[in-house]
Amino acid sequence: MELFYIVTGALLGVSLGIGLALRITVTLIMRSNDVGDYSGTCDDFGRGVQLCEEKDGMREKAAKKRYASARRKLERRREAVVRRAQSRYVSEGVQRLQEQ
Amino acid sequence: MAKNYSCPSCGVAMIFDPQTQELHCEYCNSSYTLQEVREAEFDLAETIRRMNGNADPSENEEEEVGTISMRILRCSSCGAELASREGETSSYCAYCGQPTIVTERLQDCRRPDFIIPFKVTKERAERLVREQIAGGGFIPNEIRNFEPERICGIYIPYWLFDVYTSDGQLWKYNDGDDNTYYGYYAADSVFQRVTSEASRRFNDYFSAKLEPYRMDEVMRFDETYLSGFYSDQFDVSREEAGAQTRLRAKRLFSDKITERRKAMHAWLISSNPVAEEFRARYALLPVWFMTTRYRNKPYTVLVNGQTGKTVCSMPVNKVRAYGLFASVTAGVFALLMLLFTLINNKIFNMDTNAAGQRFVFFAVYVPVAAIAAVLLWSGFSAIKRLFRIRSGIRVAASDSNRDFSRERQG
């Protein structure tokens, strides 16, 4: 029986040791040799996220209805923003050509 | 024809100095602002025009609107092409690091809309890489004493997109008393100047790491900034880059609003992410390329020419890595064996029968086994990250850069 205890303990010790050693070694190698990780967030570009609508604590039917209406509102906003930006883009281009 | 910015004092070609943001003549050591150079050029052109008796300055205008004439250097080994203004010469390829014969031709290139001029000098870039590499405990000693074989500044082509992104999410959650509630969230954003690298030859692994660039320092393109540097040309179309940027914008946006949903421990029922890019500008962004050699293989290290961010994937000193792994394993094993011996002695000295001792034993060891299983699993999943390092090293080794270029060019 004692041998069983010793073997179990040794197996656990080796497993813990290998697991911990792998984690530590890989983390340190990543930090030392693979430099410059960057994944980016949306706050890196422009003003970040603008909230239009948010509501919770609703029943299913009411929530789906309000959600559909919010999506339509978003679609109208998208059309307006893109139209405005494109017309500004065109006028900037014309101005630049005139300058040249 | 490509313009050569000559020193107004001695006539030698000047180069752009990132430190002073002026054009510098290395021959007579004088510096001129961009405005001064343009005024001097205008005076010269005016004098020539008067001497020729030419009344209309536009008659001498040779450049087409929207293009600039550049000298194209083509590497005969990997096929990479880099553009340079008159005055810059090269006997090696910045991409594959080989001292290959370089052929040249003149070509009209699309004029970029914007540029971020080099802010980091060559000396500072080298110092930054040295500091970075010196602190890397697992980098081989031969590389830690970093001696770059070559350093060159290259403007990498990027598309800058303005993207409209929106998403509406519907979710449900429990309040803890088995009551189900629903909520929704609708938001949008205009992302400005989202970068999309536009050169197939430049590896995406590196270009993603070089970011972010500070877009508030972007300037209208001026050829003067190219003096003393190379520039790559775009070969990824606006449409192709636009599709990638839409995906990127959707991901960034969705990451942001998913944070909110997760905070409520809610399940997503419906989502409708939309991204539309409505403006694209062509820009050149600065990168320092450095090549160092290890065991006869060239490795490339990059530095963001604006922010000084260093990007590299260096080979691993295997002796140190295995040494650390073995010593941590042995240390933890020895410590635990000592602990287990003490616990076992306690258990066997307990005043109870064999069944009771067995019960205590399992009560102690089952949680330890669970911790060991979790650690082992996370340790082996860390190995996946080691494979990522390996692929990064393969990219950094310029030989594979050369293969990459070959593949791209069919």
Q: Tell me: pLDDT of B220 over 80.
A: yes
Nearest to B133 by CA among B119, B148, B152, B121: B148
Tell me, what's the pLDDT at B306? Answer: 93
Q: Does B278 touch chain A (CB under 8 A)?
A: yes
Average pLDDT, integer, range B105-112:
72
Average pLDDT, integer, range B306-314:
89
Model confidence over B248-272: pLDDT tens digits?
Answer: 888 888 887 777 777 667 888 888 8
Tell me, what's the pLDDT at B309? Answer: 92
Residues 211 to 270 of B: which have CB under 8 A from any A CB?
211-212, 215, 248-249, 252-253, 255-257, 264, 270
Tell me, what's the pLDDT at B132? Answer: 87
Subunit contact A34:B368, Cβ cutoff 8 A = no
Mean pLDDT of all residues in chain B? Answer: 77
pLDDT confidence of B117, banded at 50, 70, 90? very high
Helices (H), B264-408: 318-348, 354-396, 398-408
Average pLDDT, integer, range B147-165:
86
Average pLDDT, integer, range B37-45:
62
Q: Which residue of A has its CA nearest to B370?
A: A12
CA distance A11 to chain B (A): 9
Q: Kindly give, in sequence order, each residue whose CB lies less than 8 Å from that of residue A9, ignoring residues fewer than 6 positions away.
A: B336, B337, B340, B341, B344, B365
φ/ψ of B59, rounded to 5, equals -65, -25
Token code pair at residue B133: 């590499």
Residue type, A88: R
Tell me, what's the pLDDT at B33? Answer: 80
Q: If you average pLDDT over each of B9-13, B81-85, B158-162, which comes out highest?
A: B158-162
CA distance A23 to chain B (A): 5
Average pLDDT, integer, range B46-55:
51
Tell me, what's the pLDDT at A13? Answer: 83
pLDDT confidence of A40, banded at 50, 70, 90? confident
User: How far is C-alpha B78 from the geometric centre of its chain's CA atoms?
Assistant: 21
Average pLDDT, integer, range B72-83:
69
% of chain B exceeding 90 in pLDDT: 10
